[in-house]
């Protein structure tokens, strides 16, 4: 009997006992220390990271750390659903998977995938500790997660040190494939530079030149790099910053920041906050009358904002990674949407899309390499082969392991124009990725060694 997937759900805290075992059948030899297993050699290559111990049995283990609590919890759950669906589809040899990774039949290289899940709470230390345990105890052949770019950067460093591939989940910071890039990390989703380069011309066309802008910026790598990219990409058209209100992640109250925004004389409120912080700050901006004084723009957006803010995204421009109505243009997106909605009873958001395609791309790379040996898999990413995705053909850039992919610009629909309860946005433009990318060395990427 073939099994679709086995999931292990753990709480990523510092306590060992909270990392609960999901089933004794998963463990066995995978939990033996390397000294007990002995030195491993296969395919005339020396052991590295968890290879070959992690791929010697009939299953391989993947560790995922996503925020299931905290300000990014809603998007973390959406991302997790994308991982779960991808593993199910890969293990059963689903038609959609085979259109993206033709050599994938049932499992990867004939091995079924199993998934371990930890709640990072968007905290880098918790994510690293959980993933370290997945690596040492479960011999994870790949780790994933993010949502917070601070988590993604921390997992980059872990992956490089442990020589286990990190397939980044959500991360919007330029630094993830910029100054904090690593040989053992890859990222599929869009990021601050590409979002800003895509949306800036749309905003100038809509609102004109020489605008005064108030920024709201979360105080970590994601926020600072997105704000800097927006400032850089609008400077030539005379957009100037009159105030930049920097707040901590998970701030319970934005009133003091919004008071400064309200008194700034800005024409545009450019809100870089994300997740529940974006919801709360937009709701409070309405309460403070800020949205009556200036136009709201969300340069790096999660689609559930429209649902959670009660109509405040109507008429608002935003850049996003994926919106489900792209199915009218991309047949693979239509297949994904149908499968996701059938399983979870709602339209997929971009966290789920990004998680799904990242996993299937990884499966393709392993199949093409013919091995789980990490340097060989990495070199397949670096071939820059054009491959299918849910938003058309894409490739991974060899210099920084960033996927070159389109950015989708949306505008919130007025309620009267919505054709259904999840029809929140009109797609304004799908901007090709190549022209949005900075030069490979612009953000200081140095990938490091294979071994």
| pLDDT 10s digits, 184-241 | 999 999 999 999 999 999 999 999 999 999 999 999 989 999 999 999 999 999 999 9
Q: What angle do CA 95, 99, 101 make, to 5 degrees?
A: 105
CA proximity to 89, closest of 331, 329, 364, 322: 364
Helix (H) or strand (E) holding 261: helix 255-262
The answer to whether the CB of 131 falls within 8 A of the CB of 343 is no
Say which residues have a Cβ less than 8 Å from residue 55's Cβ, sequence separation at least 6. Answer: 109, 111, 141, 372
CA distance 400 to 396: 8
The answer to whether the CB of 355 falls within 8 A of the CB of 80 is yes
The answer to whether the CB of 376 falls within 8 A of the CB of 369 is yes
Output the six-digit token pair for 215: 């920024």
173-212 residues labelled b (16+ CB within 10 A) or e (exposed):
bbbbbbebbbbbbbbbbbbbbbbbbbbbebbbeebeeebb
CA distance 421 to 423: 6
Backbone angles phi, psi at 252, to 5 degrees: -80, -15
CA distance 23 to 280: 39
CA proximity to 321, closest of 391, 264, 370, 253: 391
The whole model's pTM is what? 0.89
Task: Label residue 435 exposed, middle or buried (CB < 10 Å: 0-12, 13-18, 19+).
Answer: exposed
CA distance 451 to 190: 28
Half-sphere exposure of 411 (CA within 13 A, CB side): 10
The CA-atom distances, in angstroms, between 174 and each of 204, 223, 423, 442 are 23, 10, 30, 10
CA distance 442 to 74: 33
CA proximity to 354, closest of 140, 168, 108: 168
- Using DSSP bridges, classify how beta strands 59-66 and 142-145 pair: parallel, antiparallel or unpaired: parallel
DSSP, collapsed to helix, strand or coil, labels residue 229 as helix
Tens digit of each residue's pLDDT, the chain (451 residues): 433 344 444 443 433 333 433 333 333 333 333 333 333 344 689 999 999 999 999 999 999 999 999 888 888 999 999 999 999 999 999 999 999 999 999 999 999 999 999 999 889 999 999 999 999 999 999 999 888 888 999 999 999 999 999 999 888 899 999 999 999 999 999 999 999 999 999 999 999 999 999 999 999 989 999 999 999 999 999 999 999 999 998 898 999 999 999 999 999 999 999 888 999 999 999 999 999 999 999 999 877 888 888 889 999 999 999 999 999 999 999 999 999 999 999 999 999 999 999 999 999 999 999 999 999 999 999 999 999 999 999 999 999 999 999 999 999 999 999 999 899 999 999 999 999 999 998 999 999 999 9
Output the six-digit token pair for 143: 């780790």
Across 272-412, where does the E strand assignment appear?
295-298, 317-320, 387-389, 392-396, 403-404, 407-412
Output the six-digit token pair for 27: 């463990």
CA distance 123 to 66: 10
- Strand partners for 41: 46
| pLDDT 10s digits, 90-140 | 999 999 999 999 999 999 999 999 999 999 988 999 999 999 999 999 999
- Token pair 């608002």 is at which residue? 316
Q: State in Å, rounded, how far the first CA of the chain is from the last one.
A: 38
Helix (H) or strand (E) holding 212: strand 212-218
CA distance 411 to 418: 12
CA distance 404 to 402: 6
- Using DSSP bridges, classify how beta strands 317-320 and 387-389 pair: parallel, antiparallel or unpaired: unpaired
Say which residues have a Cβ less than 8 Å from residue 446's Cβ, sequence separation at least 6. Answer: 181
Half-sphere exposure of 251 (CA within 13 A, CB side): 24
């Amino acid at each position: 009997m073939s099994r679709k997937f086995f999931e292990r759900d753990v709480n990523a805290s510092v306590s060992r006992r909270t990392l609960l075992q999901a089933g004794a059948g998963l463990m066995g030899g995978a939990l033996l220390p390397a000294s007990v297993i002995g030195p491993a050699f296969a395919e005339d290559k020396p052991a590295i990271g968890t290879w070959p111990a992690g791929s010697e049995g009939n299953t391989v283990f993947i560790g995922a750390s996503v925020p299931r609590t905290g300000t990014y919890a809603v998007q973390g759950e959406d991302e997790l659903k994308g991982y779960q669906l991808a593993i199910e589809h890969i293990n059963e040899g689903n038609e959609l998977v085979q259109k993206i990774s033709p050599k994938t039949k049932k499992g990867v290289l004939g091995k079924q995938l199993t998934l371990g899940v930890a709640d990072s709470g968007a905290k880098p230390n918790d994510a690293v500790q959980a993933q370290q345990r997945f690596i040492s105890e479960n011999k994870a052949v790949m780790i994933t997660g993010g949502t917070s770019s601070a988590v993604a950067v921390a997992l980059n460093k872990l992956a490089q040190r442990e020589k286990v591939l990190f397939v980044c989940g959500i991360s919007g910071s330029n630094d993830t494939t910029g100054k904090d890039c690593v040989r053992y990390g890859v990222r599929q989703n869009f990021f601050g530079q590409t979002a800003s380069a895509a949306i800036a011309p749309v905003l100038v066309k809509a609102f004109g030149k020489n605008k005064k802008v108030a920024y709201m910026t979360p105080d970590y790598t994601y926020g600072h790099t997105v704000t800097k990219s927006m400032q850089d990409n609008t400077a030539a058209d005379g957009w100037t910053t009159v105030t930049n209100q920097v707040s901590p992640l998970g701030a319970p109250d934005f009133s003091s920041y919004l008071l400064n925004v309200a008194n700034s004389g800005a024409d545009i409120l450019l809100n870089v906050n994300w997740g529940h912080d974006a919801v709360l700050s937009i709701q409070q901006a309405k309460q403070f009358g800020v949205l009556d004084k200036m136009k709201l723009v969300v340069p790096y957006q999660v689609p559930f904002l429209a649902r959670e803010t009660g109509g405040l995204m109507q008429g608002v421009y935003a850049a996003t990674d994926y919106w489900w109505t792209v199915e009218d243009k991309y047949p693979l997106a239509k297949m994904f949407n149908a499968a996701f909605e059938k399983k979870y009873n709602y339209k997929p958001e971009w966290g789920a899309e990004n998680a799904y395609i990242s996993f299937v791309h990884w499966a393709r790379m392993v199949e093409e390499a013919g091995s789980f040996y990490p340097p060989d898999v990495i070199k397949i990413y670096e071939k820059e082969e054009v491959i299918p995705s849910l938003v058309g053909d894409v490739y991974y850039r060899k210099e920084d392991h960033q996927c070159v992919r389109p950015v989708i610009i949306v505008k919130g629909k007025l309620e009267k124009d919505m054709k259904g309860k999840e029809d929140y946005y009109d797609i304004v433009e799908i901007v090709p990725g190549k022209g949005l990318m900075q030069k490979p060395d612009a953000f200081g990427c140095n990938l490091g060694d294979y071994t």
